[in-house]
Amino acid sequence: MTLVEVPTDLRAREGIASDVSLAAGRHDEVGLHMRSSPRATQLALLGYAKPGEPLAAIIPLDDMAHDRLQAIERFIRSIHRQHLPDPRLTAAQRRRLGHMLRCLDGREEQASHFEVATALFGRRLVSAADWHDSAFRYQTQRLLRDGLKMVERGYRQLLRARRRHS
């Protein structure tokens, strides 16, 4: 989410919604990058915007404007402790993405598929004797394959909301 300092003529007279807990950030050529609490929203403060000051969100009017508006609504609700779940992913999709990341971490650490499957699904379910024909073997291979695709090019699709076509 991209934030800027609120122009003086647009500042509210009462109540400032900038009372947000922010984690330490880092500066670069764009601005200050940080995370908010409690939902850890990624924020970019541009120009002279500073934590603790009145802030305004920038929403480019492009094909992702609707998604950005929803993200801003979730952010504002989180400031007021009113959690609004992100509708873009179901709990099962979120769990599968976590498994995909763990598979990729295992690959990075040069773990075998069997070791990764054991870490994901548990020793009780994953058997070395049945590994060759195990459903867990095939599931681990699919998770790794899909994780690699996601890293190569598909991760941006996570940012897009599912929409009904009329």
pLDDT tens, position by position, 6-56: 777 777 655 555 556 666 677 887 777 777 765 567 777 787 777 777 778
Question: Residue 166: its pLDDT value, please?
Answer: 43
Give CA–CA dist 157/72, Å, rounded. 19
Residue 157 — pLDDT band, cuts 50, 70, 90?
Answer: low
14 occurs within a structural domain: yes
Residue 67 — pLDDT band, cuts 50, 70, 90?
Answer: confident
The token pair at 72 is: 């801003």
35 occurs within a structural domain: yes
Q: List b or e across 77-114, with b for residues whose CB sees 16 or more CB atoms inside 10 angstroms.
A: ebbeeeeeeeebeeeeeeebbebbebbbebeeeebebb
Average pLDDT of 81-101? 84
Give CA–CA dist 74/86, Å, rounded. 8
**Of 91, 100, 90, residue with least CA distance to 139:** 100
Q: Mean of the per-residue pLDDT values for the chain?
A: 81
Asked whether the bond before 38 is cis by omega within 30 degrees of 0, the reply is: yes
Q: Which of 42, 57, 79 is the last residue of a domain?
A: 79
Partner residues linked to 27 by β-bridges: 32
**What's the domain count of the chain?**
2
Whole-model pTM? 0.57
Q: Which of 27, 52, 79 is the last residue of a domain?
A: 79
- Give the residue numbers spanning the domain of 50: 2-79
